[in-house]
């Protein structure tokens, strides 16, 4: 499925549930911002589950301002989970040849049939995932992976 297909599905929906690590599409993608704004005007019901971290709290404040929502409405729409509760929403993610020119990052459900689709991330997301992995590894293992 392509992102423009997802866009059309959301446009045609009257209720949308989102599990997001950072609200990227809703606060940084212009096409989705227009869509969310129009959907909120037409009373589309949004519910979000997000991790409770600094980046997400900042993005929720941005969301609130962009769409002119009250604090009460934000409280109704968002569930902020502690990191320990975030893991049920994670897929298996692998980075092949991290840090190299031919690096590939992909994601799939924990259990997947051989012919099922797998998401391959673009180069910039692959680089970001590699940096995040390295940062966490160094933080907890105190050495490079």
CB atoms within 10 A of CB 129: 19
SS3 call for 141: helix
DSSP code, position 121: P
The verdict on pTM exceeding 0.95 is no
Q: What is residue 90's predicted lDDT score, i.e. its pLDDT?
A: 82
93 phi and psi, to 5 degrees? -130, 135
Q: What is residue 1's predicted lDDT score, i.e. its pLDDT?
A: 62
Residues of the chain with pLDDT under 50: none
In this structure, are residues 74 and 34 in contact, taking their beta carbons and an 8 Å threshold? no
Angle at 128 between CA 25 and CA 8, to 5 degrees: 25
What does the alpha-carbon distance between residue 36 and residue 49 come to, in Å, rounded to a whole number?
16
Q: What is residue 124's predicted lDDT score, i.e. its pLDDT?
A: 94
For CA atoms 30, 57, 99, 110, the dihedral sign is: negative
What are 43-63's pLDDT values in tens digits? 999 999 999 999 999 999 999
Task: Delimit the domains of the chain by residue range.
Answer: 3-87, 91-141
Q: What is the DSSP string of 83-103?
A: HHHHGGGPPEEEEESTTSTT-
Q: What is residue 91's predicted lDDT score, i.e. its pLDDT?
A: 84
């Amino acid at each position: 499925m392509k992102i423009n297909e997802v866009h059309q599905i959301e446009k045609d929906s009257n209720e949308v549930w989102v599990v997001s690590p950072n609200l990227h599409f809703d606060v940084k993608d212009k096409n989705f911002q227009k869509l969310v704004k129009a959907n909120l005007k037409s009373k589309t019901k949004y519910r979000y589950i997000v991790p409770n971290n600094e980046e997400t709290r900042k993005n929720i404040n941005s969301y609130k301002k962009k769409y002119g929502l009250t604090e009460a409405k934000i409280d109704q729409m968002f569930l902020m989970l502690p990191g320990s509760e975030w893991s049920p929403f994670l897929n298996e993610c692998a980075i092949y040849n991290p840090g190299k020119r031919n690096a590939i990052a992909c994601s799939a459900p924990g259990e997947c049939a051989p012919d099922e689709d797998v998401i391959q991330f673009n180069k910039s997301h692959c680089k970001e995932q590699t940096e995040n992995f390295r940062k966490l590894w160094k933080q907890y293992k105190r050495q490079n992976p």
